[in-house]
Structure 1
Amino acid sequence: MFRKSLIYAFTLLIPGVLSAQNSVPELSFPEPLTLKETIQIGLENNRNYQKALMDEDKAKYQRNEIRGAGLPQISAYGDYNNFIDVYPQAIPGGGFFGGSPEDINVIAFGVPQTLKAGFQLNQLIYSNSYLIGLKAAKTGEEFYRLLAEQSEEDVIHEISMSYLGVLQLELQRENLLATIGELEGLEKILQAQYENDLARKVDLNRVKVNLTSVKAELENLDIAIFQSEGYLKLVMGIPVDTEIALDSKITDMNHMVNEFQIAELDVNNRKDLQVLGVQEKLYEYEYKNIKAEHMPQLVGFADFNKSAFSQEFDFVNTNHAWYQGFLVGLKLEIPIFNGGQTKYKAAQSKVTAQQLQLDKLQATDAAELEYQNALKKYYNSLSTLRSLESNLTLANDVLSETELLYKESLSPLTDLLAAEASERQAQANYNNQIIQVRLAQLEILKSTGTIKNLIQ
């Protein structure tokens, strides 16, 4: 009856389990997503960053594992022996066993059946290698913590670059759409003028060719936007079919450009240099641990057991005699000579430490170069932005004057459309350059190790 009820209950649960497996929760995010919100989502879902955090947890467990080697080690054991032939022992003749001293008496000591069970205790009392290992384990925790922070900075940088890259493509798309609208309007005007013999066929065809080219460019740009958004979602750690909308307000970016403060380079703030510094400590502990192989090690131990002996296997008999044994002791191990292995292992460790010093010098020079390149890119892009800002102001003035002339019938429609196109292009160039400045700012933040300021 119970078995039937269990099968019935399991049958009722199957549809719910299957539906739970097939249903994927839909993610919803605020619209539009700001850069800070996008970064926060990425830090919560990025797989590489999550793995780095897990490595940090694993380092804590490894430290506890090493610490556990210095705690009492207790184990239980059992030992059963069935001697088909009891091992013989040879003793000289004479005395209690009789015979002459020249004779050899072979006697079987022991019984065929033995059973032994007990507990063993081992306690490390002194080991210089163990003490060094504890310090190295603590430094290893710091090492993985820095790697996690470095991974966090990498995620912030990659998401920021991808975010601004998508915005840049979106602004280009808006410009193309405006150009298409302008060309379509111009095509209608020229078509009407051509039908009334007021325009040439070649002018109409030229507009049609330009319109077709711009539409083809728009299709390619849509593909690039799709790919860029997909990569951004991948870095954010969300499904690629998730709908997101990015905040493309240039006014906010203008504020970020104007309020940006250039940080001075301090290589000690860079996580890659900090990681190399911790690695240097780990190599020091490695060298000390190798040298500690020459140091003595002291271990205490104890063994409590009970044994039974019999001619036949009858240990289940409650009246069987059990004999108790108990011992305690110390074991001192002093290494003397191992063929020079320790010497050469220490030499290898020294060479590795020297290589690390070269890596630190290389990383320091690379950090300085990265910072100088970021500064150069920032100042150049900022200078270009000021020029494009002046150009945008000029284009707005030209458009205003052309509109006034057109209203007074002193300028043809084509001049007005051309002025509008120039103003849109100037605005597009300005918007695009703002993003270039923001990208340069990101490089400065990354090179100075302060990119986390984006989420503060």
Structure 2
Amino acid sequence: MKKQLWTGLIAVFFVGNSLMAQEPIADGEVLTLQESIQLGLKHNTEIKKAQLDEDAADHQRKEITGTGLPQVDAYGDYNNFLDVYPQAIPGGVLDPNSDPSDINVIAFGVPQSVKAGVQVSQLIFSQSYLVGLKAAKTSEEFYQLMTRMTEEDIIYDVALNYYSVISTELQMDNLQANHDQLKRLEEIIRSQYENDLARKVDYNRVKVNLTTLETEMDNLEIAIEQRKNYLKLVMGIPVNTEIELAPYDFSDKSLPLQALQMDPDLGQRYDLKVLEKQQELNDLNVDNIKSGYYPTLSAFADVNYNAFSSEFDFLSTGHVWYRGALVGLKLSVPIFDGFQKKHKIAQARVEGQKIKYDQYMAEQNAEAEYLNAVKKLNNSIKSLKAQESNLELSEDVFKQTGQLYREGLSPLTDLLDAETSLRQARSSYYRQVINVKTAEADLYKSTGQIEKIIKN
């Protein structure tokens, strides 16, 4: 039996460790934005902490509820009087022949006694208890809102860091494409130079551009790794996990006009709801202090058994135990507390005024964030259209310049300039695409609807 028990415990230990060691994703897994957000919502430590606060609030509510249920206590008492307490009585009480002016000192009681019993109490009325139940429920709702607000922040942070990685990877792709073009151009110029068809200075200029480009690519590779690691931190997955992000689909030319057509109901923002709940909790705190003016009524009952002896023989079967029992009510009526509650209420009301100022500033901040987000998205879309036209023009110029160079009608400097302009135009276009997606996320967050980004 013991062997089976130890085998079971060892199995549970290793199974538990293997489950804890499981990675949330496999190395090298390709993640979309939606999958990254879902991982963040599942594994981010801030969300886990917020959920623990919810659990604590739930237990606190149940704890307060428990104070209104019957309270049962068992107790025991053993006394061993080394010297029985003396009592003084007037003379003549026990002996009629003694002088009444005398004082007789006698020992009342026995050296040893045992008492054991059960006491039950039940709260009948307490205004503070009723208010406490409401406050506990409101506190639970407060922490639920805090969890939702934390989830909003995680969605937003994951989205922005995801876009940041994508933007940097797009820049790397752009540099790689230009690197490949320069590499081919270097081979052509080198062949021409070896056959005395090109100057050495032209060949060196291409090599300098190629070296500069490779240095930029090395720096960009470091930036990609750093931004990926931060994204993994926000997602709550181990930073040593290898991840790949799904490539951005540039064939999708649709613009986030839906975000601009949303109903700007800023009351949906969780930060505003949290402040409202804080004000509600403060009002309940005022009510709780006021409840100190109400009387409190409770009922109680006590059943006990007592035994007395001159020596410790309470375990003998022939010992006599005497039962005692009582029931009663206890009423507590507050009369005067030196104006303590009055000043506590005043302090709580001051806190309420401060929360109102916080609410006003939060509403103004929400309005400003929304207006700024709308302006930012409109401007980003306008700039994207301009960058798209500029990219198309740069591609045409590069193709035409390359054709002229191959025909010997354009110098190498023109081709290199056209290549540089194309690289800059493509990089600006990629950045602007991500700027539009970032502006869309800002607009969703400003209206308290950041979760819509998962559906897009």
With structure 1 as the length reference, what TM-score do the two structures score? Answer: 0.91
Q: Distance in 2 between matches of 1:295 and 1:249?
A: 66
Aligned partner of 2:396: which letter? D
User: Secondary structure of 1:248's match?
Assistant: coil
Contact 1:78 1:118 in 2 (8 A): yes
Aligned partner of 1:191: which letter? R
Q: Distance in 1 between matches of 2:365 and 2:67?
A: 42
Q: Which moved more, 1:195-204 or 1:305-314?
A: 195-204
The CA deviation string for residues 51-107 of structure 1, in whole angstroms up to 9 with x for no partner, is 212211221111111011000001111111111111122222223344333322222
User: Residue in 2 aligned with 1:172?
Assistant: 171
Q: Distance in 2 between matches of 1:339 and 1:135?
A: 28
User: Residue in 2 aligned with 1:275?
Assistant: 274
Aligned partner of 1:95: which letter? V
Q: Does 1:61 align with 2:50?
A: no
Q: Which moved more, 1:291-300 or 1:212-221?
A: 212-221
Q: Distance in 1 between matches of 2:274 and 2:27?
A: 35
Aligned partner of 1:114: which letter? S
User: Residue in 2 aligned with 1:35?
Assistant: 33
Q: From 85, 88, 107, give the equivalent of 2:86.
A: 88
- Give how far 1:11 is off: 9.3
Contact 2:29 2:242 in 1 (8 A): no
The CA deviation string for residues 124-167 of structure 1, in whole angstroms up to 9 with x for no partner, is 00000000000111111110110010011011000000100000
Q: Which moved more, 1:64-73 or 1:382-391?
A: 382-391
Q: How does 1:178-189 map to 2 (within 5 A)?
A: 178-189=177-188
User: Secondary structure of 2:331's match?
Assistant: strand
User: Secondary structure of 1:193's match?
Assistant: helix
Q: Does 1:77 align with 2:75?
A: yes
Aligned partner of 1:90: which letter? A
Cα distance change on mapping 1:20 and 1:279 into 2, 3 Å: closer
User: Secondary structure of 1:32's match?
Assistant: strand
User: Secondary structure of 2:256's match?
Assistant: helix
- Give how far 1:281 is off: 0.6
Q: Distance in 2 between matches of 1:260 and 1:61?
A: 40
Aligned partner of 1:228: which letter? R
Contact 1:262 1:444 in 2 (8 A): no
Q: How does 1:162-311 map to 2 (within 5 A)?
A: 162-251=161-250, 254-255=253-254, 257=256, 259-311=258-310
Contact 1:257 1:434 in 2 (8 A): no
User: Residue in 2 aligned with 1:386?
Assistant: 385
Q: How does 1:411-422 map to 2 (within 5 A)?
A: 419=418, 422=421
Q: Distance in 2 between matches of 1:45 and 1:277?
A: 29
User: Secondary structure of 1:374's match?
Assistant: helix
Contact 1:187 1:207 in 2 (8 A): yes
Q: How does 1:120-159 map to 2 (within 5 A)?
A: 120-159=119-158
- Give how far 1:176 is off: 1.5
Q: Distance in 2 between matches of 1:129 and 1:300?
A: 17
User: Residue in 2 aligned with 1:398?
Assistant: 397
Cα distance change on mapping 1:137 and 1:101 into 2, 3 Å: same
Cα distance change on mapping 1:176 and 1:396 into 2, 3 Å: closer
User: Secondary structure of 2:131's match?
Assistant: helix
Aligned partner of 1:311: which letter? S
User: Residue in 2 aligned with 1:347?
Assistant: 346
Identity of aligned residues (%): 52
Q: Which moved more, 1:58-67 or 1:372-381?
A: 372-381
User: Secondary structure of 2:451's match?
Assistant: helix
- Give how far 1:339 is off: 2.0
Q: Distance in 2 between matches of 1:273 and 1:12?
A: 51
User: Residue in 1 aligned with 2:46?
Assistant: 48
User: Residue in 2 aligned with 1:431?
Assistant: 430
User: Secondary structure of 1:63's match?
Assistant: helix
Aligned partner of 2:438: which letter? L
Contact 1:250 1:431 in 2 (8 A): no
Q: Superposition RMSD on alpha carbons, in Å?
A: 2.7
- Give how far 1:264 is off: 3.9
Q: Which moved more, 1:201-210 or 1:136-145?
A: 201-210
The CA deviation string for residues 364-383 of structure 1, in whole angstroms up to 9 with x for no partner, is 11111111221222122111
The CA deviation string for residues 32-68 of structure 1, in whole angstroms up to 9 with x for no partner, is 3211111111111111112212211221111111011
Aligned residues: 452
- Give how far 1:415 is off: 5.3
Q: Distance in 1 between matches of 2:105 and 2:12?
A: 77
- Give how far 1:350 is off: 0.9
User: Residue in 2 aligned with 1:318?
Assistant: 317
Q: Which moved more, 1:139-148 or 1:204-213?
A: 204-213
Aligned partner of 2:70: which letter? P
Structure 2: tracts of 5 or more residues without a match: none
Q: Which moved more, 1:81-90 or 1:183-192?
A: 183-192
Q: Which moved more, 1:219-228 or 1:13-22?
A: 13-22
Structure 1: tracts of 5 or more residues without a match: none
Q: Distance in 2 between matches of 1:428 and 1:130?
A: 65
- Give how far 1:267 is off: 2.7
Aligned partner of 2:267: which letter? N
- Give how far 1:208 is off: 2.5
The CA deviation string for residues 209-229 of structure 1, in whole angstroms up to 9 with x for no partner, is 332222222111111111111
Cα distance change on mapping 1:332 and 1:97 into 2, 3 Å: farther
With structure 2 as the length reference, what TM-score do the two structures score? Answer: 0.91
